[in-house]
A and B are shown apart, each in its own frame.
Chain A
Amino acid sequence: MYTKDFPMLNKEIIYLDNGATTLKPQVVIDKIVDYYSNYSANAHRGDYDISFKVDQEYEGAREKVRKFINAKEREEIIFTSGSTESLNMIANGFFKNFLDANDEILITTSEHASNVLPWFHLQNTIGSKVKYIPLDNNHYVTMDNVIKSVTSNTKVIALAGITNVIGDERPIKEICKFAHEHNIFVVMDASQYVPHRKTDVIDLDVDFMAFSGHKMCGPTGIGVLYGKKELLEELEPINLGGGMNESFDSPSEVYFKELPTRLEAGTPNIAGAIGLGAAIDYLTNIGMDKIYEYEMNLRKYAMEKLIKIPYLDILNIESDSGIISFNVEGIFSQDVAYYLNKYNICVRAGNHCAKNLKSEVGVKNSIRVSLYFYNTESEIDDLIELLSNKEKMRIEMI
């Protein structure tokens, strides 16, 4: 139904690697080209017409993001280069100043590297301890396990809203409620969440959230750091320089601008932000509830067929997203991916940046199919047909 909106979908490929990045609709591409072609000036310098237009578009994109995740104020939306930068800013700009060696940070073994390494860095620098919430048999986070893992030293719970290999959804709202009763902050890596769900930061009540534009039909190199305003006020800028300062007469007389500009030093990714705004319009137009429902139905359609293939080891028969991870018995995941590539089917093989997950699921690597709303049942049929013939796979994998 949406195929015609995406130039990449006219190329005879079946793109099933949406967890890594998504394709871009023509409206997003056009919006970026429009900026570079028709009003390519800098932001925050409204001295002439086209620069004023840049300001309007850039701040307009911020407003679109705000509305899309239902944040209270525009100051709570910081443009970054992506989830990775957002999470690093949260860890190093806020928690590094706030935590000490006695404090504990709770994560899980199924987090993406971007929600592990910044916390490891805090352990290595200020001594705070990274601890793990155990997962249940389906690799889910349960409230029971969250409650059991919290100690009087726990100060942060940092979790993906939806994980990128298992695709399970975490009970973020309940976690926030419990955490806040115990003076614990909650950081949500929403990279796999915001593109696939209606997101409401007020309802969830998360303290910080990170997501990337390119996983939601937007351009690469743009992402968002959301934080409650009173917390962002305390977040120390890591990057200092142009645009974010008020005045700097001497080292002791440096004054920064207000939020959100204070946290966006240097010329921002203007084209990226404007492009993300266009992606949000596009998604909103379809409707996030509809996208979620469609993806879950498509997953069900795929799973019903996949479980009938006896030599598939499926890591997540149950899941709350369009992510399906599996292995073919006796064939290395990379070889399966190469085989599918011969038929122009794009899937990911590997550890999917969740290297700690191997202790949990017992396998290091897997094939990941990750769906989005533009995938179709007919594409799933093609995938199933190719996976259904193991002999063909063995012959054609090399």
Chain B
Amino acid sequence: MDEDLRREIIMDHYTNPVNKKVPDKKEDYQMVNTNNSSCIDNLDIYIKIKDNVIEDIYFDGEACAISTSSCSIMIHNLIGKTVKEAKEYVSNFKSMIDEQPYNEELLNEANAYNNIYKQNNRKHCAYLPYEGILKILDKF
């Protein structure tokens, strides 16, 4: 992925993030907070799962451009997936961040973080939303 495209994807999701608000019917969602102890990123993620399918995800909170855009892309990619597919997606993303082999096709726009490993202090920012959502997915 070329640098301009990478930047465009990240900035686009940072400026206009997908579903960045507290859902109207909060009670239908499971909420998880995810925060970074070494910086100030702090996100609440709301997820609605029915019959093992992720129907909807929202998020809210304060976080840097990398965390916010990463959460937005994650949400975009996960809505409609089964829990099993979602876990596979998360595990692929983790592999990419950790410079391990991964399936590029599964990640689409999330490939924008494929060189984030070069900035050690930002790896965790990109992975933060995933860390949060796993806490819920792992219950299934």
Contacts and interface: CB of A to CB of B under 8 A. Distances in A.
B39 A350 contact: yes
Given A395-B7, A398-B7, A398-B11, A332 B39 contact: no
Contacts of B7: 395, 398
A364 B121 CA distance: 21
B41 A334 contact: yes
B10 A334 contact: no
Q: Chain A: interface residue count, which band? A: 10 to 19
B66 interface: yes
Interface string B8-26: 0011001000000000000
A164 interface: no
A142 interface: no
Given A332-B62, A332-B65, A397-B65, A365 B40 contact: yes
B64 interface: yes
Contacts of A334: 39-41, 63-64, 125
B10 A398 contact: yes
B48 interface: no
B115 to A, nearest CB: 11
Contact of B63 (A332, A338, A350, A394): A332
B94 interface: no
A193 to B, nearest CB: 26
B122 interface: yes
B40 A333 contact: yes
B40 A338 contact: no
Interface in A378-398: 394-395, 397-398
7 contacts: A332-B64, A332-B68, A335-B64, A338-B64, A365-B62, A395-B7, A398-B11
Interface of A: 332-335, 338, 341, 349-351, 364-365, 394-395, 397-398
